[in-house]
Structure 1
């Protein structure tokens, strides 16, 4: 009952004109930030924090909630329309969302993305409101060995299931693992693979890699007159496409659960939730070959999951002071700026503010839906720009966006280099998503592995002592054996088909 009393006490403050205005403004800014390639919710919030010094804590946090939710949805707009994920969480949205746009179904794709994002955000906010303390205990059960197996499971799943050729998937993942080792060793403090460049001491920025691999190749295609999207049926005022929305309910339920689970585990994020949801949905589907070719379920799953991750990521951040991702870390900084110390005492000493913040996460999910519906017409008009003009515009925006992150021209050149690599990978049919995921999970796997060895004093059996580890090991083995099992089944079907055809010819004779 204390939770409901705190929610009711915080409600009047959240519904004040200043907080509502802050949420509306933050949501609009968040969608705009997410829609611009190279920008992210992390950067949007980081830029905003100095402007919130004079605001009351709840007004500032309401604006931050709007930016966070809005940016997660906004990243799907360029992913669908231009094949460029506006945020890291938009990677999986590209697979089916852009294909729908190419088929002239951009309006439906944007609607599915908007509804799925709003539902995922709302479910996540409700979980944050009601389940923060008990759910945070789940993350506490993960030890270093469990984190290692979890990272390995994520890498294996994406590498095997995301590519038609698992060898190419693992090749891409190995490329990402090498990039993830660049910088200063987190345990020893020594430099690795920096080649004397001060700009590489902090490692390869994920935004630089993401923008290079995903923004530059389509820009090159546009400059060459390729990758042109159909615009015949993109009018928002035209006739709506008939679609059975009820078919997405199971997708939303599964994807919300995945997003909540991933959000609870520190160091993961919406990009991993989206990719896992997309893979999971493809496994459940009766027509897995449709995925990647404009399947609505393949768009709804990642969008719902990456938005269900948003508020869930804040559960360990608010209750334990452990940020689940970079955005949560920046939000913790905003709390400290306003005199709020994350941890169990936050709920005791500042219950009205913290529950008010959680309510703003819920309300901004609704605002995101309203603003997204009104803004659809402007979003679709992006495709009206001539391809040969759009290519240079994308290059200019990405260059400005990357330079603005750290004011580094070195990172701009690095982005262009990754762009050429990404273009070559696409031509060789090597998936780029495993490389991006490996840059995120590689350092996590390495650090967890070394911490586990330190704790166990070199005893390798420590990696097999936890029930969580065994569950993850089994999942890894299933993932690795699934291509072999699929080949065996395909060979059996082909053999039966040949046998049936031979029997049919014999009967005819």
Structure 2
């Protein structure tokens, strides 16, 4: 009973924070811009968050997080629209919606498909938020017992999981992590004042700007890569009316159980570092097809194949905040940007956040309820606007997006060096994508690298330089043992896939 009493007080505090006019405005702005970015092919979550990231320098920490969070889960709603209508995923996690969503649109059921994705997104988010409210305080109570050795090992585990789950080749994922750590260490050493990777340039003494890195990697590179694919789609889109969005009773019955199964799957995978909505949605789709009595319907407009993945990726979006806010360990690049906002405002992420800034922590959680309710209200009546937007030729959209990227980057530091860095990271990001490298691990390494170094040094001071401290501490040793096991398993599975691919056909 005491737990629920404390939870009730925290919910009341969160609602009082989230319902202020300032936070309501930035929540509405975030979810609207997130949906807009999700609808436009090739933008995606990280590019949208990067575009608005400079604005967070001028906002309060709570307003900044509320807005970026709205963009984060808002793009998931919008990304499904292009998947259904154009067979072109607006976000990676919306790719599964193409499998049955686009066939439904081809059969004249685009309105039903769009309504089901909206409802599924709301149900998945609701389950994810409830789990976050219940489990975050429990995780924090355990994490408060952690020292620098445990934090270093936990961050190492998170980076290894992210590296091995984000690509078929674990070596490529690890390479991106290492590059991110190196880029994150650019600047003056906080203990000795010695320059590292600065090439004697005073402009690099403060390190690489996370704004320049994020905008280049996830803004410019994504736009370069999506220009050709977006222009190759012919926007022959049917008219969507409110009447055409009403599902039949059979479709409603077929959707109910998949909605909650998908929410459960998404909640689990969202809390795991390196997985997120994309993996959750694919697992949810495979599960529905596996348990279905008529699996041959999947791929031809099965409503279960749309409802479950959409519920899963939105539940994953919410539970991804559990390790990020409770432990200070981001599982995805989007969550790394959330931590970046906290550090920019001088707030230490981790278990102490809940006790030191309860209004921020619980205000953010309560804003999820408001944001997802706004998305439910926005998406249904504004379907016509998104459909008309999709008819806009992409060559008219991306120049304006690039202009906003440049303006946003320059407004943060008034430095032309940051503009050159955006171009450099944009070209490098595009080249890495062409070579089948995944970019999110790089940003995770960039954010967690300096934190790992700080905890490593503290652990060395406490143990007087004894490296065995990371193994002799039970929790730390368990994290490192699990990391080694995951890494070994990933290399084994990668080698096995390679052997099977190279084996001659029977």
Q: TM-score, normalised by structure 2?
A: 0.69
Q: Are the equivalent residues in 2 in contact too, given 1:313–1:328 (CA < 8 A)?
A: no
- Cα separation, partners in 2 of 1:181 and 1:488, compared to 1, 3 Å: same
1:383-394 equivalences under 5 Å are: 383-394=390-401
Residues 303-332 of structure 1: CA deviation (Å, up to 9, x unaligned): 433333447755679xxxxx9834456789
Q: Are the equivalent residues in 2 in contact too, given 1:65–1:357 (CA < 8 A)?
A: yes
2:26 is equivalent to residue 26 of structure 1: yes
Match of 1:97 in 2: 94
- Pick the aligned partner of 1:479 from 469, 473, 487: 487
1:370-381 equivalences under 5 Å are: 370-381=377-388
Match of 2:332 in 1: none
Match of 1:56 in 2: none
Secondary structure of 1:460's aligned partner: coil
- Cα separation, partners in 2 of 1:386 and 1:98, compared to 1, 3 Å: farther
- Pick the aligned partner of 2:261 from 241, 244, 250: 250
Match of 2:192 in 1: 188
Q: Are the equivalent residues in 1 in contact too, given 2:267–2:315 (CA < 8 A)?
A: yes
- Cα separation, partners in 2 of 1:435 and 1:138, compared to 1, 3 Å: same
Q: Are the equivalent residues in 2 in contact too, given 1:224–1:388 (CA < 8 A)?
A: no
Secondary structure of 2:468's aligned partner: helix
1:10 deviates by: 9.1
**Where in structure 2 are there 5+ consecutive unaligned residues?**
38-47, 84-88, 288-298, 300-304, 329-336
2:501 is equivalent to residue 468 of structure 1: no
Q: Are the equivalent residues in 2 in contact too, given 1:121–1:304 (CA < 8 A)?
A: yes
Secondary structure of 1:325's aligned partner: helix
1:182 deviates by: 0.9
Match of 1:178 in 2: 182
1:194-209 equivalences under 5 Å are: 194-209=198-213
| Alpha-carbon distance in 2 for matches of 1:430, 1:29 | 33
Equivalent pairs, count? 448
Q: Are the equivalent residues in 1 in contact too, given 2:51–2:405 (CA < 8 A)?
A: no
2:58 is equivalent to residue 47 of structure 1: yes
| Alpha-carbon distance in 2 for matches of 1:110, 1:257 | 25
State the Cα RMSD in Å. 4.9
1:100-499 equivalences under 5 Å are: 118-119=122-123, 122-123=126-127, 125-126=129-130, 133-221=137-225, 228-229=232-233, 231-233=235-237, 236-237=240-241, 244=255, 246-257=257-268, 259=270, 275-276=275-276, 278-279=278-279, 301-310=312-321, 325-328=339-342, 359=366, 361-472=368-479, 473-485=481-493, 487-488=495-496, 498=506
- Cα separation, partners in 2 of 1:276 and 1:314, compared to 1, 3 Å: closer
Q: Are the equivalent residues in 1 in contact too, given 2:153–2:476 (CA < 8 A)?
A: yes
| Alpha-carbon distance in 2 for matches of 1:421, 1:42 | 21
- Cα separation, partners in 2 of 1:99 and 1:217, compared to 1, 3 Å: farther
1:76 deviates by: 3.9
| Alpha-carbon distance in 2 for matches of 1:121, 1:221 | 30
Match of 1:86 in 2: none
